[in-house]
Amino acid sequence: MGKKLRIVLDVDTGTDDAVAIMAAVKHPDIELMAVCSVAGNKPIENTTENSLRVLQALGSEVPVYRGCAKPLVKSITPTRIPDHGGTMTVVDGKEFHVHPEYLNLPASGRSYEELPAPAYYVELLRNAKEPVTIVAVGPLTNLAVALIIDPSIVKNIERIVIMGGGAECANRTPVAEFNIWADPDAAQWVIHCGADILMVPLDATIKTAFTKEDAADFRALGTFCGDFCADLIDLRIDADRAINPECPDNNTAIHDALALLAAADESVLRDVRRVRCDIGLGDFAEGATLITHSKEFLTSEFTKNVSFAYSADKEAFKAELLRLFMQ
Ligand code: BDR
Ligand code: CA
């Protein structure tokens, strides 16, 4: 085996973020250097504590750096609700959450690090002797702040893998995916920072959605990771059905874990194209991933800036997660 991939995982844990953390800790080809939390699915207190809980349950001492509590710009609009709308409902007095306030794991016995996440990025990437891969599966605020403080840190970024966006899919507004919508200004900053960018959008993640039968295969492993992954799949399907009883789908995409696995081995993705991508910053297009198709606009100044996965291989994704969660 070659050298391990040095990864920082940026999360808003989050049920699918939790699966990504487990996969990162268990992956034999990954050295998980740190977990950075950010506000997104839940406020920063929750996403930080949830990340610590998952690591503790795995017996991992990977440090957690607490990140930004608000997006770069959008929170100055007082009426903008920052969380993931439409992920909770009450049926017959019972609450269903796609992302519970706190994951159903023992409270963490340790704290996050003193350095805030953006400061950690600046320090790490200024001094890194070897390049670092950043897998960002929440809003991109931490990385944007770090890049604003010191744009030269790009030189030590191997690649940024982003779970976010959608060419033909959306989940937060009719045109926007949640992670990008939550902080569109940060996303626009990050995807134009000059680093190698791989986007794993909804177009790819929904191709890998798991059913309750898939959950049973994870449970059959008889391990903590298998059980917890199965619990989270079941919880997400039950919540989706309670929230949207009309929806014919009986499955759930574990978005963030696909991005994490793609960082280690891109073969879980399909139809990855080099495109020009920008982010809508206002009005109806706020948070939309805008792909430029017209060749006449692609000039030496307006260049293709990201690799964008239009699809993914569910069986490869599932087989790899099962392999990682066997222990
Ligand atoms: C993304 O939004 C969050 O709810 C998930 O954790 C995932 O990162 C999917 O749109
Ligand atoms: Ca997430």
Residue 244: predicted pLDDT: 84
Name the residue of 9, 50, 88, 137 whose CB sits within 8 Å of the most ligand 1 atoms, as the mutation to test its pocket.
137
pTM of model > 0.85:
yes
Q: Is 265 a catalytic residue?
A: no
Nearest to 180 by CA among 194, 199, 196: 199
Instruction: Determine whether 225 is exposed, middle or buried from the number of CB atoms within 10 Å of its CB (0-12, 13-18, 19+).
Output: buried
Residue 320: predicted pLDDT: 98
d(CA 323, CA 222): 13
Domains and CATH numbers, the chain: 5-210+252-324 (3.90.245.10)
Ranges under pLDDT 70 in the chain = 1, 82-86
Which DSSP state fits 299? Answer: -
Ligand at minimal distance from the CA of 99 is 1
d(CA 54, CA 58): 6
d(CA 196, CA 272): 14
d(CA 181, CA 193): 19
Bridge partner residues of 157 (DSSP): 132
Which whole-number Å values give the CA distances from 13 to 44, 52, 150, 166, 257, in the listed order? 9, 10, 27, 21, 12
| Cα 178 to ligand 1 centroid, rounded to whole Å | 6
Q: Coil, strand or helix: which one is 182?
A: helix
Helical H segments across the chain, by residue range: 15-26, 44-57, 117-127, 141-149, 178-182, 184-191, 202-205, 212-219, 224-243, 255-264, 314-324
Q: Which of 12, 16, 185, 240 is catalytic?
A: 12
Residue 1: predicted pLDDT: 56
d(CA 258, CA 269): 8
Q: Which residues line ligand 1 (CB under 6 A)?
A: 14, 16-17, 41, 84, 137-138, 163, 171, 177-179, 255-256
Which residue CA neighbors atom 4 of ligand 1 most closely?
41
| Cα 78 to ligand 2 centroid, rounded to whole Å | 23
Residue 245: predicted pLDDT: 82
Ligand at minimal distance from the CA of 88 is 1
| Cα 138 to ligand 1 centroid, rounded to whole Å | 7
